[in-house]
Structure 1
Amino acid sequence: MKKTTLPLILFCCALFTISCSEDRDDVQIVSNLEIKNFIYSAMNIYYLYKPDVPVLANDFFNDQSDPNSYLDPFNTPEDLFEDLLSGQDRFSFITNDYRELEDRFAGVSKDNGLEYRLVRVAPGSSDIVGYVRYIIPNSNAATKEIKRGDAFTKVNGTSLTLTNYIDLLALDTYTLTLADITNDGTTTSIIENGRSVTLTKEEGLIENPILIAKTLTIEGAKIGYLMYNAYTADFDDELNDTFAQFKADGISDLVLDLRYNGGGSVESAVDLTSMITGQFNGEIITKQQWNPELQAAFESNDPEDLLDRFNSTIRTGESINSLNLSRLFIIGTGSTASASELTIIGLKPYIEIKTIGTTTVGKFQASTTLYDSENFGRQNVNPNHFYAIQPLIYTYANANGTVGPATGIVPDFEIAETPSNLGILGDPNEPLLKVAIDQILGRSSATKSSKLENSMEVVGESKMFTPNFQRMYVLDLPNR
C-alpha cells in the first residue's frame, strides 16, 4: 500500500498548531504542548474508536482558546493519551522512544534470550513461578545451563510474587533459582533443585522468528513443521526460503506452530497466507473497516486500498514460494494473537483449517505507528522529542464477512501445554504437535488436555514487557 499524504480532514490539527506556536517563553511547556497537539490531532483523524470518545468529536472545541484549556491539565503526554482511549480498547499504546519500538518491530532488542511464562503456584496465592518455554538462539541464555521446561522460583534470592516480579525481572542481570515442576496425577509440585543460573540482557539481540523449520517423515508422509514466533517483516525473505525448502522436500501437509506468536506485520501475514496456498492469487483475504469518516474517505478515493489480497511476491519483489495446500494444521494458545489470528481467519474461506491447542487471545484490530510530523509519517519527524503513538486504526473481516471473536478462536482439538510435560519443540511426540500429526495421519488421539495443572493461573509471559506485545501493525497507510 502507498504512504498517505496529509489527510484533508485535519479537523482540529491546524487549530492546535496555531495555538501551540505562540508564547514560546517556556521551552518545556511548548514541548509538552507540541507533543499533546500531535497526540490529539493523530487520534482525532485515525483512531478506530473515535465515535466512542466525545472529546475527539470534530465539533468538541468551539473556539481557538479551547484546545489548550483541555490539553494543559494533563501532566504528561501519557495521561492525555489514556484519556483519549475507548473503554473497549485493550491494545493502543504510546511510547516516549519510538526508536526502541522500531527495533522491536525489526526483531532487535536488549534481552537475555529467556522466553518464559509466569503462573500462580496455587489458586488465590500471591506466589508465582516461571517456566521456560524456549531460548532464543545466539542469546546470553543460550550459553547457560537452562532449557525449555526448567522452572524458576526466585530472582536474586527473592521469591517471585505478584507484587515484585515486574521489578525483579526488569533487572539487566539477575540470578534465577531453578526448580522442577512435577505432577503425580493428582498434585502439582514445585521443588527447587539446587541449581541456579545468572543471565544478562545484552543490547542488539536479534530474534529470527523462524525458530524451527523441518520436514518430518512419518509413516511415509512428509509433513512440514514451522514454528514461527513473530510476523517480523525483516525476515520475510527467510520465511519465503523456508517455504522453498518445504516445496523441494515435497511435503503433503504443514503444521504451522503459532503457539507463542503474538503477531506483527500485516503484510507478513498476507505473504504467509500466499506461501501456504498459491492457488488463490488476487482473491480477497481481508476487508478493512476504519472509523466512519476515514472509511468514507478511503472508499471515495480508492476502495481497493482497503482490501488485502493473496499475492505472488513479497515486499522485496521476490516471487513467493507457494505450496498450494488445501488444508492446514495450526497450533495456537492463549499467547497467539493479532496477525496470527488474521492468518487463521483469512484462510478459512479457502482451505480446511484445523486448530490445535487452546483459545487464542482475540485481537482482530490493526495499528500503525504515528509520528509527530506533517503527515504523521517517519519522514521529517519533529526533532524535539521521540514520542510516537500506536493506536488501533482498523478492524477487518475475511472474504466471507466473518469478524474474529473478541473472546478468541476456540481450537478444534483442545490440549493445553502443561509445565510438567512440555516436551521438545519440533519432536513428533511433543504433546501439541503429536495431536496435529495424529489428525494428519488419521490416527486417534486425545483431544482434551488432562487439566492436571489447570489450577496454575497464568500471570504473564516474558514478551508482555515489550512495547509490541500482541500487536498487529501496518507499515503504510492507504492513500486517501
Structure 2
Amino acid sequence: MNKFILITFISALVLTSCQDDRDDNISNINELANQENIKDFIWKAMNVFYVYKSDAPDLADDRFENTTDYRDFLNRVDSPLDFFFSLLARQDRFSFIVSDFVTLEQNQDGISRSNGMAFGLIRFGGTNTVFGYVRYVVPGSPADVAGLERGVIFNRIDGNLFTPDTNFNLLLSPNTYTIGLAELQNRNLTSIDQEISLNKIQLTENPIHEHKVLDIDGQKVGYLMYNNFRTPFNAELNSIFSNFASEGITDLVLDLRYNSGGSIETCKDLSSMITGQFNGEVFAQQLFNENFSPEDLIFDNEISTGETINSLNLTRVYVLTSPSSASASELLINALNPYIDVIQIGDTTEGKFEGSATLYDSPDFTRRDVNLNHTYAIQPLILKTANRDGFTDFFDGLDPDIEQEETFSNLGTLGDPQETLLNRALQEISPGFAPSSSSQEKNLVPINRIGENQMFDPTYQRMYIDSNSLSF
C-alpha cells in the first residue's frame, strides 16, 4: 500500500439536515452499507493518524504485498467495530468507534439524553457493599425538579439492589428509571423506604457548574467548578474571569474533581485566563506518529470567537482533583507546572495524556463531503501531549501535592468554604483558616471507585482537537 499523507486536517463539526433525517434509521443504514468499504476507511485513517501506529503491526505501510492481500485482511473480520479494535496497540485504553457520529458531535457540545443526576459508584473494599452517591445535579434538569441534591445515596435501580456483579450499563440505559435511597451509618449501608423516579430528556449541560468570589480573612479568592472543557461555553467562561479580575482576586481554586476532559483548545484558553503573562510561549507539545512532525501549542490572548482573553496573571493556582479528573484536566496541570506554582489537592488523576480527533469516511477524513451511505466515525488517539519540558506518559496519573479525599457521609455543599476539598485549599491560602469537620474526617473503610454517570458517554475521559485547531 502506498503511504497516504494528509496535508491538511480540519475536523469540521457542521451538522447537516441530511444526516439528521437519517438519524432514526442508523442501524438499517449501517447494515446495508458496504462493510468492506467501511473497514477500508477505518484502516486508511488509522494508517495516517494513529499515534501508536509503530506499535500496531497491522497498520505498517508495508503490511500487505498487494491489493488482494489487503482485501483478504479487510474481510477477515465481519464487524467494522471488531475490525477497528483489532487494530489497536496494547497500551491504548481510549480509542473508540461510533456507529452514529451525530450523537458523538452533540455529546462533545454537552448535548445528551440525561436526567441531570451526576453520580459516582462506590464499593467498600473487602465487602459486597455497592452504592451510588449524587455528586451534583444539573440545574433545571429532571433530577433537579425531583429534588435530588448532592450527597444523596442510592443502592438500587428499579428494585435491583447493587452488587459487585451489577450490570450498570443495562440498569442505567432506560429513559426512565427509579432509584432507591439509602443512608450510611458508620460502616453500614441501610436501605430506606424512599424512591425517586427520573426521566431522561435531551439536555445541554453547562460545564460551569459553580463560580463565586470568597472573602477569606480579608483575601479575595475565586472559586470555579468546571466540569468539562467545552468550546461553546468559552465566552461565558471568559466573562467569569473578567469578573474575577474586576473583583481583584488574589488566588484561584479551580475545581476539576469531576472533569473528565474535552477540548484541547479550550484547555489552552482557560490556562491563558489563569495566567496571561506567557503569551507567545509554548503551552504544550503535541507529539504525533512518524507521519507528522511535533507541533507546539502556543499561549495566545484570544478565545475561539476572537474575543480577547481576560487574564488574571496569577503565579499560582489551586487545582482540586480526583480519579475522575482526566485528559484536558491533566493537560492543564501538566502544561502550567513549568510556569507557575500549581498546588494539586485531592486524589491522583486518571492518567490520560493522549488526544484524539473524529475521523470520518470522506476524502480527507473530515466532516466535509462525508460518505452518506453509513454513519460510522472513529475517534482514535492521534497525539500525545507533553508540557514545555517534555513531560508526558504519566500512565499512573498525576499525584496530588496535598492528599484529601471526599467523605461520602459528609460531602458538603460545592462552593461552600466548609466543603472538604475547597476547605483544604483555603487552609493553604490562608494558614489561619479553620479546618472544617469534613476535611479532618476519613472514610471509615477503604473505597473502590467503580464508575460514574459519564462512563457510557462517547466523550468520557476524551481529549480532542477542535475544528481549525490543527494543520499538518
Q: Give the TM-score normalised by the residue count of structure 1.
A: 0.89
CA deviation map 1:389-418 (0-9, x unaligned): 000011122112222511111001101112
| 1:120 paired to 2:112 | no
**Which position in structure 2 is the counterpart of 1:287?**
285
CA contact (8 A) 1:122 1:456 kept: yes
1:374-453 equivalences under 5 Å are 374-403=363-392, 405-443=394-432, 450-453=441-444
Amino acid at match of 1:148: R
- Separation in structure 2 between the aligned mates of residue 168 and residue 338 of structure 1, nearest angstrom: 27
Superposed, 1:41-60 pairs within 5 Å as 41-60=44-63
Identical counterparts, % of pairs:
44
What code does the residue aligned with 2:192 have? Answer: N
3-state SS in 2 of match to 1:147:
coil
Q: CA shift at 1:363, angstroms?
A: 0.4
Which residue in 2 is equivalent to 1:467? 458
Report the Cα distance in structure 1 between the residues aligned to 2:376 and 2:370, rounded to whole angstroms.
Answer: 10
2:64 aligns with 61
TM superposition shift of 1:239: 0.5
**Paired residues, what number?**
445
2:133–2:152 CA contact under 8 A, matched in 1: yes
- SS of the residue 1:65 aligns to: helix
Matching residue's letter, 2:133: Y
Shift of 1:454: 4.3
Q: For structure 2, which runs of at least 5 residues remain unmatched after alignment?
A: 10-29
Q: Which secondary structure state, in structure 2, belongs to the residue aligned with residue 293 of structure 1?
A: coil
Deviations 1:27-74 (A, max 9, x none): 968621121011000000100000011110001111111111011121
Residue 268 of structure 1 corresponds to 266
SS in 2 for 1:115: strand
- Note the alpha carbon deviations across 1:376-395, whole angstroms, 9 max, x for none: 00111000111000000111
Deviations 1:408-457 (A, max 9, x none): 11001101112111111000000100000010112476999754344231
Aligned to 2:146: 144
**Distance in 2 separating the partners of 1:284 and 1:208:** 29
Q: Is the 8 A contact 1:123 1:457 kept in 2?
A: no
From 154, 164, 167, the equivalent of 2:167 is 164
| Residue of 275, 278, 285 corresponding to 1:277 | 275
Question: Residue 43 of structure 2: SS of its match in structure 1?
Answer: helix
Amino acid of the structure 1 residue aligned with 2:268: V
Residue ranges of structure 1 left out of the alignment (5+ in a row): 11-26, 300-305
Where does residue 253 of structure 2 map in the other structure?
255
Report the counterpart of residue 195 of structure 1 in structure 2: 194
Measured in 2, the distance between the counterparts of 1:370 and 1:338 equals 19
What's 2:446 paired with?
455
CA distance in 1 between partners of 2:386 and 2:70 (Å): 36
Q: Aligned residue for 1:336?
A: 325
Deviating beyond 4 angstroms after TM superposition, the runs of 4 or more aligned structure 1 residues are 27-30, 444-451
Q: Distance in 1 between matches of 2:109 and 2:31?
A: 32
CA offset at residue 166 of structure 1? 2.1
What's 2:361 paired with?
372
Deviation of 1:165 after TM superposition, in Å, equals 2.4
Asked whether the equivalents of residues 124 and 445 of structure 2 are also in contact (C-alpha less than 8 Å), the reply is no
Q: Go from structure 1 to structure 2 and tell me whether the alpha carbon gap of 1:51 and 1:139 turns closer, same or farther (over 3 Å shift).
A: same
SS in 1 for 2:105: helix
What does 1:300-319 align with in structure 2 at a 5 Å threshold?
A: 306-319=295-308
Tell me whether 56-65 or 397-406 shows the greater mean CA deviation.
397-406
Between the aligned partners of 1:155 and 1:414, the Cα distance in structure 2 is 33
